């Protein structure tokens, strides 16, 4: 006697087929919902804010009158803070990644550092704000300045840079390094002349992702003490400042409709900047992937 009768098998198969279609429809719906939300968000922001965008909006300082308010100070503040954060995180992060991948002995200490970095990547960003407030603003007496903000964000994005760089360095074929050592090069020469150029696209992609994370961060800078209303351009590393996301936050929190429109316009600027950076990262990765055929 057959294990499963023909009739039973086919009846069961019909049910399985239907279940399969239902499940497939569910999966498609889930994906579609995510896309619809993204579309709704973009549509909402564009329909609210696009008409508000103008050159004046970019060059004006904030104002009590929503129609005159602009993002000049916020844009400059973001550029200052993010440049500092990017430079510091990039140099320290790549250094740490080189150490962990090329120099550190595999063992308890290295895996402890590794675990620590993974955990740092998961620490809520607002906690970095508290750290920055205490260490940079109060103990190091940098004040609530551009440099303190930049260093705070640098610590925040450091794990991203380290992890991305480590992955890029790990992808370097061992044969390449062995070739270098066989020619009598020292470790550092191998790292600098062979490993880093090869890993560079990956490292750069990670760095751009880290910077775009820094561009969008709000909470740590609020906690660290960035201002919300800044009618002046930052004039140096010790200047007080605001950044674009904080400006948007400020406008969203106000009751007047006009400020909500300004917030939407600010969001458009922020998203354009971020999308450009992401596109650049994709472009770089693509270009270098083609170029680095060893």
Partner 1 sequence: MVTTEKNLIIETKNVSVFYGDTPAVSGISLGIEREKITALIGPSGCGKTTLLRSFNRMNDLIPIARTSGEILFEGHNIYAENVDPTEIRYRIGMVFQRPNPFPKSIYDNIAFGPRINGFSGNMDELVEKSLIGAALWDEVKDRLRTSGLELSGGQQQRLCIARTLAVEPTVILMDEPCSALDPIATLAIEELMRDLSKQYSIVIVTHNMQQAARVSDYTAFITQDERRIGELVEYDDTRQIFTNPTDERTEAYITGRFG
Partner 2 sequence: MSQIDGGRIKFGSGSDGVSYMDQDKQVLGRFQRMFGLRWKRNLTEAFIKYGLFLCAILSIFTTAGIIAVLLFEAIQFFQEVSIFEFLGSTKWTPLFSSKHFGIWPLVTGTLLTSIGAMLVALPLGLLSAIYLSEYAPRRVRATLKPILEVLAGIPTVVYGYFALLFVTPILRSISDNIMVFNGLSAAIVMGIMILPMVSSLSEDAMQAVPRSLREGAYALGATQLEVATKIVVPAALSGIVAAFILSMSRAIGETMIVAIAAGQNPNFTFNPFVPIETMTAYIVQVSMGDTPTGTIEFKTIFTVGLSLFVMTLIMNLLSQYFVKRFREVYE
Query: Residues in the site for partner 1, rule: CB under 8 A?
Result: 2-4, 8-9, 11-13, 16
Q: Is 282 in the site for partner 2 (CB under 8 A)?
A: yes
Three-state secondary structure call for residue 104: coil
Q: By CB under 8 A, name the one of 31, 50, 140, 272 that touches partner 2.
A: 31
- Residue 240 pairs with which residues in a beta bridge? 145
Q: State the binding partner of 253 from partner 1, partner 2, none, CB within 5 to 8 A by kind.
A: partner 2
Q: State the binding partner of 34 from partner 1, partner 2, none, CB within 5 to 8 A by kind.
A: partner 2
**Distance between CA atoms of residues 234 and 236, nearest Å:** 6
Q: Is 252 in the site for partner 2 (CB under 8 A)?
A: yes
Q: Is 8 in the site for partner 2 (CB under 8 A)?
A: no
C-alpha gyration radius of the chain? 25
**Nearest distance from residue 17's CB to partner 1, in Å?**
8
**Nearest distance from residue 251's CB to partner 2, in Å?**
9
Residue bearing tokens 């880290």 = 210
Of 118-177, binders to partner 2 (CB under 8 A) are: 118-120, 122-131, 133-135, 138, 155, 158-159, 162
**Distance between CA atoms of residues 243 and 238, nearest Å:** 15
Residue 237: both structure tokens together: 């590393």
Q: State the binding partner of 92 from partner 2, partner 1, none, CB within 5 to 8 A by kind.
A: partner 2
- Check residue 155 and give left, alpha or beta (phi > 0: left; psi -120 to 50: alpha): alpha
Closest CB to partner 1 among 16 and 290?
16
CB 150 within 8 A of CB 92: no
**Distance between CA atoms of residues 207 and 159, nearest Å:** 11
**Nearest distance from residue 86's CB to partner 1, in Å?**
41
CB 263 within 8 A of CB 66: no
Residue 110, classified by CB atoms within 10 Å of its CB into exposed (0-12), middle (13-18) or buried (19+), is: middle
Closest CB to partner 1 among 7 and 182?
7
Of 11-30, binders to partner 2 (CB under 8 A) are: 16-17, 19-20, 23-24, 26-30
Instruction: Report the sign of the C-alpha dihedral through residues 147, 149, 127, 161, in that order.
Output: negative
Neighbours of 265 (CB within 10 A): 26
Q: By CB under 8 A, name the one of 115, 140, 238, 272 that touches partner 2.
A: 115
CB 242 within 8 A of CB 226: yes
Of 192-251, binders to partner 2 (CB under 8 A) are: 212-213, 215-219, 222-223, 225, 228, 245, 248-249
DSSP state of 145: B
**Nearest distance from residue 144's CB to partner 2, in Å?**
11
Q: Please give the size of the binding site for partner 2, defined by CB under 8 A.
A: 87
Closest CB to partner 2 among 68 and 138?
138
Closest CB to partner 1 among 16 and 106?
16
**Nearest distance from residue 29's CB to partner 2, in Å?**
8
Q: Is 111 in the site for partner 2 (CB under 8 A)?
A: no
**Distance between CA atoms of residues 149 and 155, nearest Å:** 10
């Amino acid at each position: 006697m057959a294990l499963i009768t023909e009739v039973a098998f086919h009846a069961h198969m019909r049910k399985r087929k239907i279940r399969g279609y239902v499940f497939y429809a569910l999966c498609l719906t889930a994906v579609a919902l995510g896309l619809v939300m993204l579309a709704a968000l973009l549509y909402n922001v564009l329909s609210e804010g696009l008409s508000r965008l103008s050159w004046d909006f970019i060059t004006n300082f904030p104002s009590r009158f929503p129609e005159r308010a602009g993002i000049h100070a916020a844009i400059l503040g973001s550029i200052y803070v993010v440049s500092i954060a990017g430079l510091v995180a990039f140099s320290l992060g790549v250094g740490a990644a080189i150490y962990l991948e090329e120099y550190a002995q595999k063992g308890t200490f290295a895996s402890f550092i590794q675990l620590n970095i993974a955990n740092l990547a998961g620490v809520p960003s607002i906690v970095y704000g508290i750290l920055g407030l205490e260490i940079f603003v109060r103990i190091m007496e940098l004040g609530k300045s551009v440099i303190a903000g930049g260093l705070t964000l640098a610590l925040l994005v450091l794990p991203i840079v380290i992890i991305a760089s480590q992955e890029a360095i790990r992808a370097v074929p061992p044969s390449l390094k062995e070739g270098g050592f066989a020619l009598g090069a020292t470790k550092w020469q191998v790292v600098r002349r062979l490993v880093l150029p090869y890993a560079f696209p990956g490292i750069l992609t990670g760095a751009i992702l880290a910077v775009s994370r820094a561009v969008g961060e709000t909470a740590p800078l609020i906690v660290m003490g960035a201002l919300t209303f800044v009618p002046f351009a930052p004039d140096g590393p010790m200047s007080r400042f605001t950044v674009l996301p904080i400006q948007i936050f400020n406008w969203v929190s106000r009751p007047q409709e006009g400020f909500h429109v300004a917030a939407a316009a600010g969001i458009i600027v922020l998203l354009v900047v971020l999308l450009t950076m992401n596109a650049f990262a994709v472009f770089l990765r693509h270009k270098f992937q083609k170029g680095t055929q060893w």
